[in-house]
Amino acid sequence: MASKQTKKYQQPTATSINVESSVLLSLIRHTSENYPSLFSGSLLGFEDDEGSIDITHAYPFPYADQYEGGSFRSRSGAKYQQEILDSLKKLEYGVDFQGWFQSTVSGNFVTTQLIEGLAQQQLTNKNAFILIHNMSSIGKEVELKALRLSEGFIGAYIDGKWKSKDLESNKVSYLNIFDELPINIHNQHLVNLYLAGLKDEAKTEKEFDVLNLSSNQNVTAQLLESLYSQVDSYNYDQNNFNYYQRQNQKEVSKITQWKQQRKLENLERAKRGEKELDPEEWRSIFRLPSEPSRYNNMLHSHAIDVLADDILKKCDEELTKSFAIERKLTSAEN
Amino acid sequence: MPVESSFMHLVRPNVAAPGVPSATGPSSVKIHAPAVFQILEIISKQVLSSDKRIIGTLLGIRSDDGSEFEIRDAFMVPCNETGDSLSIEDSTHKTLYQLYKKAHPKESVLGWFGSSNQIDNTTGLIHDFYSKGSDRAYPYPAIYLNVEYLKDGQISSPELSVYIGAAVGKPIATNVPIGWKTASTNNSYIFTPIPHHVINGSVTEKIAFNTLKEKSVNTTSFVLDSDYSFLSSQLEQVTANIDRLIQEIDTKVASGAASDRELDLLRLLSSTLLNKPQLLTNLAELERLFRDHNQDVIMIEYLTKAVKEQIELSARLTANAEADKKY
């Protein structure tokens, strides 16, 4: 964790993200073609006067990520990004780096690397954000969301201690690590004209895969596995914390005992007319253990929360389909 | 979007041996939807009054025999026309291509795109640039994608057409700087139209494309959201499809004017519907299976909810415990 921050955090001014339709499509193509490899890349565009960020270009990083956020802080990624930007500047595009996109499966994107990269970026560029493409419903539905770290989280990040009272004072919990921004899809007029000129094509069965009864099976299993591993990591971290709490408890009871004793002693001394001993002396005798960082706990909690929501969504869909199909099949016979 | 006009290829042109027919069949081009959008966006930047030409490089894959093309991406390359000569910024083309190549090692330059109303001398000049030299289409023939969106000075629905170019006449000397119009070079090309269609790579992409098509009627932007409504909207579409089918069948039956093909289709439909696995007739078993399945799903939901709530509980308890600390 970076302990000293020289950069100053500024509140973001952008309230929404405008994405060109070509960016949307090429991003989705790149991430879904390479699934299950994870890919990320830079989003280039500009800020407009109405408080939103317009994304006009997306360039994937040359190599797949081993984990989410892996390329953000890597030197090769940054170099590639800069080269692209330089060449686009030559074309007089007037675009700048605005954020990243990252493909992921459900809540797995909450990694320290991704958070670290995004936090550093938000400290330099107040409107930096990340576009998360959730691949858990690949082939069925497009799930994109634009996120940036909340003000409270950045506050705690700058403090860098991640103790419960820091979290409390920054009003941040695992539920509000991120702020979500609405995504607008924007078409150039020519694109609109082109779309309007298209004939309706017959849709194939594949596009209705979401309606297939068993289409979620693999995904649910995969999500559950991710959930297990997140819960495991969570428990690992929680063990440390439990250890701390037990230690703390022990010390606290020792201090209480000591205080009790000192009180009695002082009473005795008062009776004898002697000078009282300092009742605050315990501070130099006992050392309370310091609270371990809650940082990992927060990240795992958030990942678990997102994963759980996705699993619940899949299960709800599954139940809806299952009940509908069951009723149809069993009533048709009667 | 298949092009209506039909194509007949007798000769597939070739750069290496101009005018010599090659044995392979006709060429065809698949254009990925993101590439079309990108090209259209680049072309939108054209300033009509100054009539500056906008061109760019097409990137993608070609099949081993060079007869099939897949245009997957495109970028703009600046070019300047002064009178009769033309300069293309080779360095921009080169750097952008090299950068693109890093992320997409399997793809290469296929040709170029532009937006003009006619094929003229300059078209040949640009084509010459893309047909020769390293980092370009050579040794394969370059293709040329034209987007025509001006009709009688009015902006209209853009029309795509793809050509493959073959050099005619005596090949030029190799030491002539490429892309520059010099008096003696040969840059005459025959542009043969080839069929193309726009495709979507993956299913997810197609879903996104359809969403774009449905939502961007009479508006230039809309909000992308992902929630439960997706399932119901898909259901509605299927229901609408079935309704349409039933209506179609009804009208055909009423008029008694069904053709053989339609009858075959109906037979196929009814046999698919009637032909069901044994399991479906065993109602008790079927119900049991469904019940088991639903219970499994509900169990997963229940446990997941329990985990979710545990996490929240733990966070709250920890916060409380730490806030209540005495020392």
Q: What type of residue sits at position A203?
A: K
Note whether B314 and B238 are same-domain residues.
no
- Cα(A6)–Cα(A307) distance, integer angstroms: 35
- Cα(A163)–Cα(B103) distance, integer angstroms: 41
Q: What type of residue sits at position A199?
A: K
Q: Which residues of B touch A322 (CB under 8 A)?
A: 290, 293-294, 297
* pLDDT of the residue at B233: 78
The residue with tokens 């170029």 is B112
Note whether B113 and B49 are same-domain residues.
yes
Note whether B316 and B264 are same-domain residues.
no
Task: State which of A145, A172, A198 marks the end of a domain.
Answer: A198
Note whether A259 and A185 are same-domain residues.
no
Inform me whether the C-beta atom of residue B206 falls under 8 Å from chain A C-beta atoms: yes
pLDDT in tens, A193-246: 888 887 777 677 777 777 777 777 788 899 999 999 999 999 999 999 999 999
- Closest CA of chain B from A183, distance in Å: 6
Note whether B196 and B316 are same-domain residues.
no
Whether residue B11 lies inside any domain: the answer is no
Q: In chain B, how many domains are there?
A: 3
* pLDDT of the residue at B135: 77
- Cα(A58)–Cα(A41) distance, integer angstroms: 7
Contact A95, A56 (CB under 8 A): yes
In a 13 Å sphere around the CA of A332, the CA atoms on its Cβ side amount to 13
Mean pLDDT of chain A: 86
**Where residue A321 falls among pLDDT bands split at 50, 70, 90?**
confident
Whether residue B298 lies inside any domain: the answer is yes
Side by side, the strands of the sheet bearing B154-167 are: B189-194, B154-167, B143-151, B108-114, B55-62, B68-77, B28-32, B196-199
Task: State which of A155, A175, A198 marks the end of a domain.
Answer: A198
Q: Cis peptide leading into B105, omega within 30 of 0? A: no
* pLDDT of the residue at B187: 60
Q: Which residues of A touch B203 (CB under 8 A)?
A: 32, 138-140, 206-207, 209
Whether residue B129 lies inside any domain: the answer is yes
Note whether B187 and B287 are same-domain residues.
no
Whether residue B6 lies inside any domain: the answer is no
Task: Indicate the DSSP class of residue A38.
Answer: B
The Cβ of residue A200 has, within 10 Å, a number of other Cβ atoms equal to 8
Cβ-proximal residues to B49 (8 Å cutoff; 6+ apart), any chain = none
- Cα(B300)–Cα(B153) distance, integer angstroms: 62
Q: In chain A, how many domains are there?
A: 2
Whether residue B124 lies inside any domain: the answer is yes
Whether residue B264 lies inside any domain: the answer is yes
Note whether A42 and A184 are same-domain residues.
yes
> Is a pLDDT exceeding 80 seen at residue A187?
yes
Note whether B268 and B294 are same-domain residues.
no
Note whether A147 and A271 are same-domain residues.
no
Task: List residues bridging with B88 in a β-sheet.
Answer: B79
Note whether B189 and B67 are same-domain residues.
yes
Task: Write a three-state SS string for B123-173.
Answer: HHHHHHHHHCCCCCCCCCCCEEEEEEEEECCEEEEEEEEEEEEEECCCCCC
* pLDDT of the residue at A199: 74
User: Taking Cα atoms as reference points, which of A141, A143, A133, A165 lies closest to residue A41?
Assistant: A133
* pLDDT of the residue at A291: 86
Contact B279, B286 (CB under 8 A): yes
Whether residue A7 lies inside any domain: the answer is no
Q: Which residues of B touch A245 (CB under 8 A)?
A: 321
Q: What is the rounded (10 degree) CA torsion for A194, A200, A201, A206?
A: 100
Overall size of chain A counted in residues: 334
- Structural domain including B239 reads 233-275
Contact B141, B152 (CB under 8 A): no
* pLDDT of the residue at B178: 53
The token duo for B177 is 């700087």
Crossing angle of helices A217-272 and A295-332, in 10° steps, is: 140
Q: Which of A94-108, A111-125, A275-289, B93-107 has the lowest mean pLDDT?
A: A275-289
Inform me whether the C-beta atom of residue B318 falls under 8 Å from chain A C-beta atoms: yes
Note whether A150 and A106 are same-domain residues.
yes
Whether residue B73 lies inside any domain: the answer is yes
Note whether A33 and A78 are same-domain residues.
yes
Q: Is the ipTM of this complex over 0.90?
A: no
User: Taking Cα atoms as reference points, which of A18, A20, A23 lies closest to residue A50?
Assistant: A18
Task: Indicate the DSSP class of residue A275.
Answer: P
* pLDDT of the residue at B308: 94
pLDDT in tens, B218-229: 676 777 665 667
Helices (H), chain A: 21-33, 75-90, 112-124, 151-159, 164-170, 189-197, 217-272, 282-285, 295-332
Whether residue B271 lies inside any domain: the answer is yes
Note whether A171 and A252 are same-domain residues.
no
Termini Cα distance of chain A: 67
pLDDT in tens, A253-307: 998 898 898 889 888 888 888 887 777 777 888 888 888 888 999 999 999 999 9
Note whether B68 and B189 are same-domain residues.
yes
| Domain CATH number, residue A104 | 3.40.140.10
Is B202's CB within 8 Å of A206's CB?
no
Q: Write down the pTM of the prediction.
A: 0.83
For chain B, which ranges sit under pLDDT 50? Answer: 1-4, 17-25, 173-176, 181-184
Note whether B63 and B143 are same-domain residues.
yes
User: Taking Cα atoms as reference points, which of A299, A269, A27, A2 lies closest to residue A159?
Assistant: A2
* pLDDT of the residue at A7: 63
Whether residue A205 lies inside any domain: the answer is no
Whether residue A208 lies inside any domain: the answer is no
The two beta strands, B68-77 and B55-62, are: antiparallel
* pLDDT of the residue at A317: 86
Q: Provide the chain B residues 145-174 that lie in CB contact (below 8 A) with chain A.
A: 149, 155-158
- Structural domain including A171 reads 16-198
Q: What is the mean pLDDT of residues A119-137?
A: 89
| Domain CATH number, residue B138 | 3.40.140.10
Task: State which of A173, A198, A223 marks the end of a domain.
Answer: A198
* pLDDT of the residue at B227: 60
* pLDDT of the residue at A142: 83
Q: Which residues of B touch A91 (CB under 8 A)?
A: 76, 78, 92
Q: What type of residue sits at position A229?
A: S
Burial B202-214 (b: 16+ CB within 10 A, else e): bbbbbbbbbbbee
